[in-house]
Amino acid sequence: MPVREIETASPDETEALGTALGRAARGGELVGLVGDLGTGKTCFVRGLAAGLGIDPERVHSPTFVIVHEHHGGRLVLQHVDLYRLDRPNDEEPFLREVLYGPGVAAVEWFDRLPPEAGEEALLVTLRHVAGDRRVIRLDARGERHARWLEAVS
């Protein structure tokens, strides 16, 4: 499956990468975000929102509520943050509906889910390099996500 590494030099560039993916989304995409605190996961999701036609200023980390549902664009964006959950399971009804629904699901701390949850996903790993620079690895798992990643080449 396709894998790309992209270096961004600012939060605006990280957001722009998310915007490009949001514009190419067709629905049913699952984005798994992995990275330490402050690596730009929420910034990336703001870009996804913008690409879907959703006001990116409405996107904030959903740490305390776990899921924020954003409407107003061409697809619904489900923004999930698993940071506060010890052992989340993608089989839990509320989570399964969010992760595998018809819109776009962006899940921060995706690595807390069981490995099989990421079999059909775009795994986005963000790593802080220095200053505002980030290395972002995009790993498309499954045909749908491979096509999605190819659409933004």
- Cα(20)–Cα(53) distance, integer angstroms: 12
pLDDT in tens, 13-71: 999 999 999 999 999 999 999 999 989 999 999 999 999 999 999 998 876 778 889 99
Q: What's the pTM?
A: 0.91
- How do residues 67-103 score in pLDDT, each as one tens digit? 889 999 999 999 998 887 766 665 566 777 888 889 9
Query: The CATH number of the domain where 92 resides is what?
Result: 3.40.50.300
Number of domains making up the chain: 1
**Are 38 and 128 spatial neighbours (Cβ–Cβ below 8 Å)?**
yes
pLDDT value at position 145? 92
Q: Which domain holds residue 17?
A: 3-151
The neighbouring-strand residues paired with 130 are 133
Residues 6+ apart with CB under 8 A from 61: 42, 81, 108
pLDDT given at position 78: 96
